[in-house]
Amino acid sequence: MPIDLPFEIGQVLSRKKIHQLLGGQERNGISTPVADSWILLFTGERGEKFGYEDSWEGDVFHYTGEGQRGDMQSIRGNKAVRDHKENGERILLFKERPDHNQEFIGEMAVRGWRNEPQKDMTGKIRQAIVFELVRVG
């Protein structure tokens, strides 16, 4: 693990504390702090009711992009995640715990992405962007 990560793997913090330290949008699943080169990804079971289906498959984490209604677009947070390597940004993944605190999973990198049909928050089928993430280090 690179020593310049802001958190230890397994460290548990409130989402508020994470944003106090790094900045970024507090309500988005993809948060892009302006001052640093971090992209913060948040996952958890509560996202399922908004049309997000994240899961591990072996060493690959499948992370559903942002957009609650209709087809997802490669804009804002989705574009930031997709282009993180060429923009020199690093992805930090957090998983929400039952107590609503966030566990730091680690630094991730995009291996690839795809579009796949998933239900949106209204139950309608849409094309979702799913990022394939792998651990760094």
Structure tokens at 69: 């209604």
Q: Is 12 helix (H, G, I), strand (E, B) or coil?
A: strand
84 by Cβ neighbours in 10 Å (0-12 / 13-18 / 19+) ranks as buried
Which CATH fold topology does 12-135 show? PUA domain-like (2.30.280)
Looking only at the bridges linking them, the beta strands covering 90-96 and 38-43 are parallel
Q: What per-residue confidence (pLDDT) applies to 36?
A: 75
User: Domain map of the chain by residue range?
Assistant: 12-135
DSSP string, 102-130: EEEEEEEEEEEEEEEEEE-TTS-EEEEEE
When pLDDT is cut at 50, 70 and 90, the band that residue 3 belongs to is low
Average pLDDT over residues 4-24: 94
Average pLDDT in the chain: 92
Structure tokens at 88: 């020199």
